[in-house]
Amino acid sequence: MDIAPTYDFIVVGAGSAGCAVAAGLIEAQSGSVLVVEAGPPDSGPLVKPPLGLVWLMGSKRDWRFRSSPQKALGGRRIRIPRGRMLGGSSSINSMVWFRGRRDDFDNWNVDGWRWVDVEPAFEALERAFRPARLADPHPLSEAVHAVLGNNGMGPPTPEYESSGVFHYNMHNGRRWSAADAFLRPAQRKGGLTVLTSRQVDRIAFSKGRASEIVFTDGSTLGARKGIVLSAGSIGSPEILLRSGVGPAADLAAAGIALTARSEQVGLNLHDHPTAGIHYVGDDAGYGATLRQIPLWAKAPFRYLFSGQGPIGSPTVEAGAFFNAREDGGPPDIQVHFIPFMMGWQDRLIVPGSGYFTDVCVCRPRSRGALRLVDGEVEIDLGLLNDPADLELLIAAFRRLRRIMDDAPFGARRGVEAFPGLQAVRTDDDIRRHILATCGTAFHPVGTLRMGTDDEAPVTPRLAVRGVEGLWVADASVMPQVTSANTNAPSMMIGLRAASMIAADTGGQPG
Ligand SMILES: Cc1cc2nc3c(=O)[nH]c(=O)nc-3n(C[C@H](O)[C@H](O)[C@H](O)COP(=O)(O)OP(=O)(O)OC[C@H]3O[C@@H](n4cnc5c(N)ncnc54)[C@H](O)[C@@H]3O)c2cc1C
């Protein structure tokens, strides 16, 4: 492949948002575009079959970040999987499709990003992705429709209490990532170069203007019109800090020359905290049992011919939204339902059949921070450091148990195996269980918050404050996480970023 020394735009990171940015810039005829991705192409055998995500996590296609010891969790470190290949986290995720609540965007309170502003971009995304109901849910997942109901056979929605089988960005039982929807079609149009397995270390500036990317091996490539950081909520702030844009004292301590002082770079890190329950029982979900040997023996053929069966399952098949304290307020909890016996006793697969369900705080109050310490990135998720999140999870855990007791699971019903009704009964027991086991829904956001105030690292037009020719387009710009899964909102940000950047650099808005 011919790599030119200079491009009009360089997009760093071919993830959910980066692929949308690149396609949008090509669509807007903004000039030549180079996309640089640290990870490999998305051609591995586990990437397209939905069940493959179980093995992708922890593989070389996952950044395998870990949080710093979490203060509220007794020093426990939390795993932070992030996709590391073309498509980024959209090539490793469960493909659950949600826009979020309308008032999530109104509450961002950022000009140009209210619901009326973002809705057309979600509609455009849905024309490109055609998210649809899982074709072949497990019978237990089908039964989840009845637990709260309220939405017919449609997916549950964070707008009101509801439950059911989720919608997914899959086509014929295969993953349809941001690379499928955006990157490859844009490559066919011409003007787009994609470079894989090249990690960007930092941005170099010339008279305050972002002019080059510097790779970890020290080599460089130039950008005439500008550079877009789409390296995700961990990668983008890390690159910015390495480039000297961040809190002055931290940069001085790290021996990095100051390019622009921006005290809030890396702050406001947050994610959806989750805690769950494992159920086991004969025939209570997919699992490693003698009875299921025929099912698993046929599974590869079934998947190859129809895209269905357990290999066509992204594990999370259904769920719900509810208000934990039933106080008449909007849903503040999302439930995921996984009809598989997995991820228990610190092992991926344990013998037996069962199912798992969890509660996630939709709009957490806790905040952490990402910093450079001794040249390495330190990721403090700040999980549950606001006690309100823990108390909400306790109420939600109690309601989840009641809902699961009432679910019409018939002969497939399992019994609660972990934490167990006897072991964990009182609020104090539940509190201890949550603190010992809680993780995240893998939706980190907020480290380069956009805002109209001067403290926000990024402007409402997604430009990095204090420098020229540098933008951020990914989940890091969300001031507050949306109330459900974050892939579609991240791609919405990417699509709108391309339009804004094209317009602000004299091209056609896409
Ligand atoms: C396991 C998992 C399951 C999930 N399930 C769902 C789900 O079902 N539904 C949903 O809506 N959301 C889900 N999410 C969240 C969703 O996928 C993310 O919020 C979304 O993909 C974030 O998009 P992004 O563009 O901000 O970052 P990413 O998609 O993570 O893209 C960042 C890209 O930048 C690259 N990069 C990083 N640093 C560098 C560097 N220095 N140089 C070059 N390239 C770099 C990365 O390799 C990556 O390709 C899940 C996430 C994970 C990890």
| Mutate which of 65, 91, 93, 125 for ligand 1 pocket (most atoms within 8 A of beta carbon) | 93
Q: What is the DSSP string of 21-61?
A: HHHHHHHTT-S-EEEE-SS--S-STTTSSGGGHHHHTTSTT
Residue 495 lies in a domain: yes
**How far is the centre of ligand 1, averaged over its atoms, from the C-alpha of 103 (Å)?**
24
| Residue among 205, 199, 218, 201 nearest 258 (CA) | 205
> Is 379 part of a structural domain of the chain?
no
> Is 261 inside a domain boundary?
no
Q: Is 37 in the pocket of ligand 1 (CB under 6 A)?
A: yes
SS3 content of the chain, % helix, strand, coil (to 5): 30, 25, 40
**32 C-alpha vs ligand 1 centroid, how far in Å?**
24
DSSP β-ladder status, 333-338 and 318-322: antiparallel
pLDDT in tens, 404-443: 999 999 999 999 999 999 999 999 999 999 999 999 999 9
**Closest by CA position to 197, among listed 54, 14, 47:** 14
| pLDDT tens track for 313-371 | 999 999 999 999 999 999 999 999 999 998 776 777 788 999 999 999 999 999 999 99
Crossing angle of the two packed helices 387-406 and 427-437, in degrees rounded to 10: 110
- Would residue 56 count as lying in a domain? yes
Catalytic residue positions?
443
Let me know whether 277 and 214 are in one domain.
no
Query: For residues 79 and 58, what is the distance between their CA atoms, to the nearest angstrom?
Result: 10
- Could you tell which of 377, 487, 491 is best to mutate to test the pocket of ligand 1, judged by most ligand atoms within 8 Å of the CB? 487
Question: In this structure, what CATH number is given to the domain that contains residue 338?
Answer: 3.30.410.40
Q: Print the domain residue range for 356.
A: 133-168+273-361+385-437
For residue range 1-57, list pLDDT tens digits in order: 678 889 999 999 999 999 999 999 999 999 999 999 999 999 999 999 999 999 999
Task: Identify which has the larger pLDDT, 396 or 424.
Answer: 396
Whether the ω angle into residue 419 lies within 30 degrees of 0, i.e. cis, is yes
Answer yes or no: do 143 and 283 share one domain.
yes
Determine the atom of ligand 1 nearest the C-alpha atom of 200. Answer: 42
Stated as kind and residue range, the H or E segment containing 349 is: strand 347-349
Site of tokens 């001067």: 454
pTM, 2 dp? 0.97
Distance from the CA of 352 to the center of ligand 1, in angstroms? 32
Cβ of 481 less than 6 Å from ligand 1: no
- Which atom of ligand 1 is least distant from the CA of 39? 47
Residues 43, 20 contacting (CB under 8 angstroms): no
Is 370 part of a structural domain of the chain?
Answer: no
**Cβ(358) – ligand 1 distance below 6 Å:** no
Instruction: Note whether 182 and 209 are same-domain residues.
Output: yes
Task: Return the percentage of the chain with pLDDT > 70, whole number.
Answer: 99
Please state, in angstroms and rounded to a whole number, the distance separating the CA atoms of residues 59 and 14.
Answer: 18
Whether residue 199 is found in the same domain as residue 317:
no
Q: How far is the CA of 83 from the centre of ligand 1 (A)?
A: 5
